[in-house]
Structure 1
Amino acid sequence: MIKKTHVKSFYNGIFVTCYEHKNVKYVANQHGDWDVYEGEYVRGERTRIIPKESDEIKNIINEYTKHHGGKR
């Protein structure tokens, strides 16, 4: 199951979208891309960055939307 929450950005302190799937967190960053954290959302623990146009994040958002009545 995919869970959507909001987490406080390390960069500017505002709340940003976070999708969590299989203990991997996809956190929106200030450039529009997604920072990936495997495990906890901890400053400096980002494992990779995926571009907003990647199939990986598109599939996660589509799956979440499908199970939540079309709401992103």
Structure 2
Amino acid sequence: MAILKVIEVLANSDSSWEDATNKAVEQASKSVKNIRSVYVNEQSAQVKDGKVSEYRVNVKITFEVK
């Protein structure tokens, strides 16, 4: 039986929600090992001059505790 833990991570990107999600996983993997999955909990965007200027995600990252 595996023991899994979930952490919440906020990340942003100038290009897309997908890129923001990738950045969240990449940053978390620097200190968290055995990442199993990522769940995009929330998406938002900042608007400047009538255009999206920043994409933001709130993700839940699941990893195995050994």
| Bigger Rg, structure 1 or 2 | 2
Higher relative contact order (CA 8 A, sep 6+): 2
Q: TM-score, normalised by structure 2?
A: 0.25
TM-score by length of 1: 0.24
The structure where strand makes up a greater share of residues is 2
